[in-house]
Amino acid sequence: MKTIAVANQKGGCAKTTTAINLAAGIAMQDKRVLLVDLDPQGHACLGLGIDPNRIPTSIYDVLMDKDMSMSNVIVHSKISGLDLIPSNFKLGTAELDLRATAGREMILSKKLGLLGQHYDYCIIDCAPALSLLMLNILIASDEVIITVQAHYYALESLKRMLGTLHVARKQFGPCNVRALGLLLTLVEEGTVLCRQVQQQLREFFGSLVFETVIHRSVRLAESPSAGEPVLTYAPKDKGAVEYRAMAREVIERIARLSRVPV
Ligand code: ADP
Ligand code: MG
C-alpha cells in the first residue's frame, strides 16, 4: 500500500477536494483505495455523503484505544473499491488526549500499516495545521501531494510545508516521506496573477509541479453538497476530466519513482 497525504498548512486550497477526487479517480482505475479523513471538520466524509456526526466510531477512537483497529471503523463508499476512515469534531481534542501517551507520533503509522495488504493506495486528507496529527501523518506517509492555490501567498505556505517535511525526515528516524508533487488548484486561466504564479512555480520547482492543473469549476464546488466526488456527480465536467488526469499522473509518477535504476 502506498500512502499519500494531501497537505498544506494553509486552509481552503482544495486539499479535501483533491483527496476525495484523487481517491475516487484511483479507485475507478480498479485499485483498492482507502481515504482517511484526518480533519476534525469531517469534510472528506461529507464529500462522500457520510454524515460525520452520525457515525458511531471514527479515527479518533482508533487513535485513542490501543486495542481498536482501523478495520473497526471502515465505511464503504458508493464507489466500488473506495473505503473511508471517517473523522468528526472529536478528533479536535486528540492532541490533548494523547499528551501522556508514549510513542504518540507513531500511532497512525502502526495502525495503518496493518491494513497494508487490503489496499493499493491510502489517501489522507489533512487539516491545515502543524500538529501532532500532522506529524503522525508525515510518519505514516510515503508521499505528500501539496495543493497550491495560484495566488500571491502560495509560495510562502509552500516553503513552510516543504520545510516541515524536511524537519519531520530529520527528526523522526522512521520518516522517509517525500514530496510527490505540487498540484495547482483553483486556477483561473484568464488572470495575469494566476499565470505568473504558475510560471514562477514551474521555473522554481520544475517537474515537481504536476502537469495537470485543476481549474475553478462550479460543478466541483457543488459536488460535496450532493455527497459525491465530481467524478460521479458530473463525469464530463472539466473538473472531473482534470482529476482523472491527475489520478493517472499520480499512479505513473509513483511507478516511475519506485523503479529501481539498474
Ligand atoms: P481545504 O480542504 O484545503 O480547506 P477544500 O477542498 O475544502 O479546501 O476547498 C475549499 C473550497 O473551495 C470548498 O468550498 C470547495 O468546494 C471549493 N473548491 C475546491 N476546489 C475547487 C475548484 N477547482 N473549483 C471550484 N471550487 C473549488
Ligand atoms: Mg479540508
Total residue count of the chain as it appears in this document: 262
Domain boundaries, the chain: 2-258
For residue 166, pLDDT beyond 90 = no
Mean pLDDT of the chain: 93
User: pLDDT for 172-192, tens place per residue?
Assistant: 877 789 999 999 999 998 788
Q: Please, which residues have CB within 8 angstroms of residue 206's CB and are 6 or more apart in sequence? A: none
Which helix (H) or strand (E) element contains residue 257? helix 238-258
> What pLDDT, on the 0 to 100 scale, is given for residue 72?
96
> What pLDDT, on the 0 to 100 scale, is given for residue 189?
81
Among the residue ranges 171-185, 206-220, 243-257, the one predicted with the least confidence is 171-185
> What pLDDT, on the 0 to 100 scale, is given for residue 260?
62
- Tracing cell 482544495 back to the chain, one arrives at 14
> What pLDDT, on the 0 to 100 scale, is given for residue 262?
54
φ/ψ region of 33 (left if φ > 0, alpha if ψ in -120 to 50, else beta) reads beta
- With vertex at residue 118, the alpha carbon angle to CA 61 and CA 169, rounded to the nearest 5 degrees, is 70
User: pLDDT for 96-148, tens place per residue?
Assistant: 999 999 999 999 999 999 999 999 999 999 999 888 999 999 999 999 999 99
Superfamily of domain 2-258: P-loop containing nucleotide triphosphate hydrolases (3.40.50.300)
Q: Is the pTM of this model over 0.85?
A: yes
Residue owning the nearest CA to atom 11 of ligand 1: 12
Higher pLDDT, 197 or 242: 242
User: pLDDT for 222-237, tens place per residue?
Assistant: 999 999 999 999 999 9
In 3-state terms, what secondary structure has residue 212? coil
**For ligand 1, which residues put their CB under 6 angstroms from it?**
11-17, 43, 185-186, 214, 216-217, 220-221, 224, 239
Residues 222-226: contacts with CB under 8 Å, at least 24 apart: 223/47, 224/17, 224/20, 224/43, 224/46, 224/47, 226/49
Handedness of CA 145, 18, 246, 76 (dihedral sign): positive
In 3-state terms, what secondary structure has residue 146? strand
Residue among 13, 15, 17, 126 to mutate when testing ligand 1 (max atoms within 8 A of CB): 17
